[in-house]
């Protein structure tokens, strides 16, 4: 199990946020925290999620996001300790 931080730049709409949560669920990951903040002209959100789960699923999550046209960027950072 690893704890990791994910940064996501996404469209500012509830479907995009729902899609993030559905992928957390599909990956059988658990959420420690999430913040969503509007950026720029308000059409996008920047999200920071702290997530727990198996390392292969953490990678899967970040890559999977890129399949969907709600997400402009997604990066993962493993957390230690």
Partner 1 sequence: MVRAVDALIKQMTKMGVECIFGIPGGANMPFYDALYDSDIRSYLMRHEQQAAHAAEGYAHVARKTAVCSGTSGPGATNLITGLVDAWMDSVPVLAITGQVVRAFMGTDAFQEADIVGMVLPHTKYAVTVMDSRRLVQEFVNAYTVAMMGRPGPTLLDIPRDVMQEEIDGVEDIKPEPIFVQTPPEPDVHSVMEAAKLIIDAEKPVILSGGGVIFSGATNEVLELAEFINAPIVTTTPGKSSVPEDHPLVLGVVGMHGRVESDMAIVDSDLVICVGTRLSDRAIGPPTEFEKNRKVIHIDIDASEFGKNVKPTVSLSGDAKQILRDLIDYIKHIAAKKPKSPLINRLREIGEAYDEFMLEQATSKITSWRAIWLLNKILPPDTVITTGVGQHQMWAQLFWKCKTPGSFISSSGLGTMGFGLPAAFGAKAAAPDRPVVNLDGDGSFLMTCQTLACISDYNLPVITVIFDNRSLGMVRQWQNMFYKQRYKDVEYTDRTDLVKLSEAFGVEGVRVESYEELEKVVKQAVRENTAVTIDLPVGKEEMVFPMVPPGKWLSEVKLPPGLELYGKVSSVHPA
Asked if residue 8 binds partner 1 (CB under 8 A), the reply is no
Q: Is 46 in the site for partner 1 (CB under 8 A)?
A: no
2-11 and 71-79 beta bridge pairing: antiparallel
Contact between 75 and partner 1 per CB under 8 A: no
Burial category of 63 from C-beta neighbours within 10 Å (exposed 0-12, middle 13-18, buried 19 and up):
exposed
Least distance from partner 1 to the Cβ atom of residue 65, Å: 8
Residues in the site for partner 1, rule: CB under 8 A?
11, 15, 18-19, 22, 26, 56, 59-60, 63-64, 66-72
């Amino acid at each position: 199990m690893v704890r990791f931080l994910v940064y996501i730049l996404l469209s500012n709409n509830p479907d995009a946020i729902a899609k993030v949560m559905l992928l957390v669920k599909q990956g059988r990951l658990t959420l420690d925290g999430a913040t969503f903040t509007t950026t720029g002209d308000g059409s996008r959100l920047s999200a920071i999620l702290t997530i727990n789960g198996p390392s292969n699923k953490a990678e899967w999550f970040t890559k999977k996001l890129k399949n969907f046209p709600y997400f402009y960027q997604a990066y993962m950072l493993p957390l230690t300790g």
